[in-house]
Amino acid sequence: MRKFLTLGLFLALICTAAAQSRRDGFIHSHRKHHESLWQQNWRLAGRTPEITEGLVIPRPLYHTPDTVSVVFMGDMMMHRDQISNAKVGEDNFELSEYFPRIEHLIKRADIAVANMEFTLAGKPYTGYPCFSAPDSYAEAVAESGVDIFLTANNHILDKGRKGIDRTLGIYSKMESEGRVRHTGAALSAQDDSLRFPLKVVSKGMRLAFINFTYGTNFGISEEFPKVHRIDTAEIAGAIRSAKLSGADFIIALPHWGNEYVLSHSKQQGRLARWLAENGCDAIIGTHPHVPQDIETLTVTGTDGKCSRKVPVVYSLGNLISNMSAPNTQVGMMVTLRFTKDKFGDKNMLEPLLTMTWCSRPGHLTRSYTTIPIKEYVGKRGLWLNPWDYDKMITSYERVKKETGIVD
């Protein structure tokens, strides 16, 4: 009898959690293959938990705090020379060298996020100033381990209504297959309600992502498709939605700032302060195509006593592109780590920074490739063209000196 009562209680807890998951709009992330701490505890106790898609399984009371890691990457570009270099047939593109040297950094995180600064508008494929990349580029990004595509950027409307419709349609199809999620732009009001904010659960941790841009290079007259812009009323509504849904942490992802400038602007600083004071727990920016400085804002609670620290990464720079202007080949991967213990106490650990270098064809390999700089320091002999290694070291040291970044 006791066994049946225990089983009934367990099933009731599962049903309650599943119903709550549907009500609050959070999507459960199951992509990563890491064994969470609560799973380890079950295994060590001689029991194997059943992993049920879409359900929150109650954790043992004695579990240690889980850590959820989220890695953020900068601008994924596709310039004309990248298209030409990758083309191996009428509609075939070889992109296998793009990400393998950073893939271990992407896949070791529970969630990986990247800014998709192009459209998938179809042929003809074009680079700057109006980007249309082959569909296989998005496939390669997903295969590298990226889970969330950011679409609120100044290039998402480069090909007008047709371009954004096709781009978001492809991303939504990939989402329906359980491969990626996307946020920042939406095809309809119903679609938008699920993406602004984008709510994701990983290891029981509820995270909300809010992506928006300063503007777009081109516009459309219709209300939808919609690209979220820097509108404090809309952003405040997204923050409220995240809080009402029980988000443990809220991450703002603005596309902002001045291009090619290594320090943030006064406008960025003011908006960062507003985002922090209105409830965002971390702010990770893109757009300038170079890394920018990092700071930590202290926000005082309404009681005037309690305060919290909000890290602000003003710009991640490029992850991969054809750019070669000063500092544009240096980028950053930033990993945020969130913890929550059995008592519900939440904490965000110190961000982890990895500086990256985008090497162009004929330098390190025959294609474009992105590498973690520190892992390649002292390995000049690997380069086909050692001049690129020297440029990497010089650029790396200059960016660190001018931004104050310590990786």
pLDDT for 352-407, tens place per residue? 999 999 999 999 999 999 999 999 999 999 999 999 999 999 999 999 999 999 99
Report the pLDDT value the prediction gives residue 25, as an integer from 0 to 100.
Answer: 75
Q: How far apart (Å, rounded) are the C-alpha atoms in residues 271 and 232?
A: 9
Closest CA to 311 of 262, 256, 352, 346: 352
For the ranges 17-26, 62-71, 148-157, 182-191, the lowest mean pLDDT is seen at 17-26
Average pLDDT for 16-24: 49
Mean pLDDT of the chain: 87
Average pLDDT for 115-119: 98
Which residue bears the tokens 């969470």? 36
Residue 4 vs residue 139, higher pLDDT: 139
| Helix runs in 36-102, H state only | 37-44, 80-86
pLDDT tier for residue 350 given thresholds of 50, 70 and 90: very high
Assess whether pLDDT exceeds 80 at residue 87: yes
Assess whether pLDDT exceeds 90 at residue 332: yes
pLDDT tier for residue 60 given thresholds of 50, 70 and 90: very low
Average pLDDT for 187-216: 96
Q: Two tokens at 268? A: 């960025």
pLDDT tier for residue 78 given thresholds of 50, 70 and 90: very high
Percent share of the chain, pLDDT over 90: 78
Q: Which amino acid belongs to residue 133?
A: A
Report the pLDDT value the prediction gives residue 26, as an integer from 0 to 100.
Answer: 77
Report the pLDDT value the prediction gives residue 47, as an integer from 0 to 100.
Answer: 31
Q: How far apart (Å, rounded) are the C-alpha atoms in residues 287 and 317?
A: 7
Assess whether pLDDT exceeds 60 at residue 3: no
Assess whether pLDDT exceeds 70 at residue 71: yes
Report the pLDDT value the prediction gives residue 62, as an integer from 0 to 100.
Answer: 34
Q: What is the pTM of this model?
A: 0.86
Q: Which CATH class is domain 71-403?
A: alpha beta
Q: Two tokens at 254? A: 């603005």
Sheet holding 205-213, edge to edge: 27-28, 198-202, 205-213, 249-255, 282-284, 307-313, 294-300
Assess whether pLDDT exceeds 90 at residue 333: yes
Report the pLDDT value the prediction gives residue 300, as an integer from 0 to 100.
Answer: 87
Domain ranges of the chain: 71-403
Residue 50 vs residue 200, higher pLDDT: 200
Question: pLDDT tens across 220-242, in order?
Answer: 888 899 999 999 999 999 999 99
Q: Two tokens at 278? A: 């209105």
pLDDT tier for residue 63 given thresholds of 50, 70 and 90: very low
Percent share of the chain, pLDDT over 70: 84
Torsion of CA 265, 268, 273, 279, to 10 degrees: -160
Question: pLDDT tens across 246-277, in order?
Answer: 999 999 999 999 999 999 999 999 999 999 99
